Amino acid sequence: MADDNHASFAKVGATVLAGVLATVAILVYLGGAGGRDHVLMAETYYDAAVSGLSVGSEVNYRGVAIGSVSDISFVGSLYDDAAEDDWQKVVVTISIDTRKLRLVDYDDAEERMRYLVGKGVRATVSASGITGLAKLELNIPKDPVELAPISWEPRYLCIPPQPSMLESFADALSRVMNEIDSMDFSGAWSNLSNAADSMASLAANLNSLVESQKGGVADAISGVADAARSIGALADELRENPASLIRTGVRESLPETE
């Protein structure tokens, strides 16, 4: 009887253990370990803060969720070969579900994604509503940034960063303010004042010239007036006595011939 009880307990224990192992296997599979064949790891980097972005944040491609952020760290803590100037740049590692992008149909999903990057796909940190949270957007912007060289060898496919519209506007505004701050307003005002003085001097010289020539101009005008009066008098005389235009004189007689 005791042996039968021991055998029953052994069967029950084996059954329970098998059930526990099966449950763990299912949970691990659902947690992603079983779907690793459909996961593509990639990374991007930023020279500015990535406020609002955290592990688990959504990764979208053209507005469609295709993955999530799996790690956020500094370049200096991940890559020993990085230049010192790059140590404080932020590396964002992402996992992409290749089934969402139909990359699973290709022999090499990474090469296909690399092709899309070559076509202009860039990664932008964008705010998610008014919650203060952020997400990573993969898009092909109208003017994608050029592929700048980096000083480290990435572990995964590197998707170049693209500043958001707000960051671009802030950078442009900052450049304009710096240009205004560097302008030499005192020098420009001095040049403008000198130009105004030169114009005033030229106007005074022209006025003096007109004053000095005023008498000669008056005499010339008076002479023209006298000539006009003379011409008018001659015209009146010709109108009253047109014959005065005919030359008069004594007619000489011709010599007589024998």
Which tens digits make up the pLDDT trace of 173-201? Answer: 555 566 666 666 666 677 777 777 777 77
User: Looking at residue 192, what is its pLDDT?
Assistant: 74
Least confident of 43-47, 97-101, 218-222: 218-222
What DSSP character marks residue 105? Answer: G
With a CB cutoff of 8 Å and minimum separation 6, the contacts of 132 are: 52
pLDDT exceeds cutoff 60 at 3: no
Tracing tokens 């990085």 back to the chain, one arrives at 82
Ranges 21-35, 47-61, 99-113, 229-243, most confident: 47-61
Residues in the chain: 258
Question: By three-state DSSP, how is residue 211 classified?
Answer: helix
Burial class (CB in 10 A: 0-12, 13-18, 19+), 141: middle
Cα dihedral 80/82/83/88 (nearest 10): -100
Q: Contact 72/93 with Cβ under 8 angstroms?
A: yes
Average pLDDT for 59-63: 91
How far, in Å, CA of 73 to CA of 90, rounded? 6
Percentage, residues of the chain above pLDDT 70: 56
Average pLDDT for 68-72: 96
In whole numbers, what is the pLDDT of the chain averaged over residues? 75
pLDDT exceeds cutoff 50 at 254: no
Residue 124: which pLDDT band, with cuts at 50, 70 and 90?
A: very high
pLDDT exceeds cutoff 50 at 34: no
pLDDT exceeds cutoff 60 at 208: yes
pLDDT exceeds cutoff 90 at 103: no
User: Looking at residue 91, what is its pLDDT?
Assistant: 96
Question: By three-state DSSP, how is residue 131 classified?
Answer: coil
How far, in Å, CA of 219 to CA of 216, rounded? 5
Q: Contact 134/53 with Cβ under 8 angstroms?
A: yes
User: Looking at residue 195, what is its pLDDT?
Assistant: 76
Average pLDDT for 42-48: 93
Q: Contact 47/85 with Cβ under 8 angstroms?
A: no
Residue 1: which pLDDT band, with cuts at 50, 70 and 90?
A: low
User: Looking at residue 111, what is its pLDDT?
Assistant: 86
Closest CA to 162 of 186, 141, 178, 183: 141
How far, in Å, CA of 29 to CA of 37, rounded? 12
User: Looking at residue 170, what is its pLDDT?
Assistant: 47
Q: What angle do CA 62, 47, 103 make, to 5 degrees?
A: 30
Q: Contact 159/96 with Cβ under 8 angstroms?
A: no
Which helix H or strand E contains 134, and what residues bound it? strand 134-139
User: Looking at residue 78, what is its pLDDT?
Assistant: 95
Residue 38: which pLDDT band, with cuts at 50, 70 and 90?
A: confident
Say how many C-beta atoms besides its own lie within 10 A of residue 249's C-beta: 5
35 versus 99: which is more confidently predicted?
99
